[in-house]
Amino acid sequence: MQELIEKASVLMEALPYIRKFSGKTIVIKYGGAAMVEEHLKESFARDIVLLEYIGLNPVIVHGGGPQINKVLDKMGIKAKFVNGLRVTDEATMEVVEMVLAGDLNMEIVSMINKHGGRAVGLSGKDAGLIRAKKLPKETVSDENNVSQRVDLGRVGSVKAVDPALLDTLDKARFIPVIAPIGVDENGESLNINADLAAAAVASALKAEKVVFLTDVEGIKDAAKKLIPTIEKNEARRLIKEGVISGGMIPKVECALQAVNEGVKSAHIIDGRVQHAVLLEIFTDQGVGTVIS
């Protein structure tokens, strides 16, 4: 009986959040271990279906770096990175599209639909959803501190997001699953960082929340302790002081961009935790860091 009472308590804790967020759009950047480990993949798909069933509007933007690397390796194409960005020549771009907009996107859609959802696979090229522009050359320094400019190839940044297609899908109660491939003014495909794409989509939709699934607990302070809630100015201070460093910097910058452009809150959470999305949205404590 006590176990049943505890289950009821969990539902009661979630009730005010369900009421508050019903009808709201939640953009989720799906990546990391949550996209690789089978039990986490199944858990994520069920969580998304639950969000839709209780009245939220989930929109998924997914990455796929490890999966792209695996296919490149099989094809004998060496993956190259400059300042954390994938150098994307013509051959690599073909693989990126094949993996992100093809196999991986369809796998996510199928898994959500298997659990009772109505997911639809998209790329940023569909209906001009993500209009992009090619990134300029990156400056890199060698071991002798000699700088040079490196062309990243078909790598882009988001120029604009047209939410019309997503609005249509939302009205029909479909769940969009978006591969982060943009299109430039010449109709050429560009590889977009999934965090950037998620932030831009959330901003265009004026989403209630944007949630970034990662392989870390969230933002930590100088003592390596998790920070549950942080304001924008404090996050910028921690970046400036080097407390937020490495690969966490661009993720926090994307979160800050979304909040600056009208998204109510941005969440950086540990996707290695089962049901992380539900725990972050529907519990008092959460499982990561919220930037507001």
Rounded CA gap, 271 and 48, in Å?
Answer: 13
Q: What is the pTM of this model?
A: 0.92
User: So what's the pLDDT on residue 283?
Assistant: 86
Q: What is the pLDDT of residue 7?
A: 59
Tell me, what's the pLDDT at 286?
84
Alpha-carbon distance values, 94 to 46, 86, 111 (Å)? 31, 13, 24
CB-count burial class (<10 Å; 0-12, 13-18, 19+) for 95: buried
CA-based end-to-end distance of the chain: 39
Residue with tokens 């009205």: 171
What is the C-alpha to C-alpha distance for residues 25 and 207, in angstroms, rounded to an integer? Answer: 5
Residue 67: count of CB within 10 angstroms of its CB: 18
Could you read off the pLDDT tens digit of each residue along the chain, which spans 292 residues?
666 566 567 677 888 888 999 999 999 999 988 999 999 999 999 999 999 999 999 999 999 999 999 999 999 998 888 877 888 999 999 999 999 999 999 999 999 999 999 999 999 999 999 999 999 988 776 666 667 788 899 999 999 999 999 999 999 999 999 999 999 999 999 999 999 999 999 999 999 999 999 999 999 999 999 999 999 999 999 999 999 988 899 999 999 999 999 999 999 999 999 999 999 999 887 889 999 8
Phi, psi of 204 (to 5 degrees): -65, -35
Domain 2-291 grouped into CATH 3.40.190.10: no
Q: Name the strand (E) or helix (H) holding 15.
A: helix 2-21
Predicted pLDDT at 246: 84
Domain ranges of the chain: 2-291
Assess contact for 208 and 24: CB atoms under 8 A: yes
For residue 148, CA distances in Å to 57, 78, 143 come to 45, 21, 12
Across 174-256, the runs of DSSP E, i.e. the strands, are 175-179, 181-183, 189-192, 209-214, 229-230
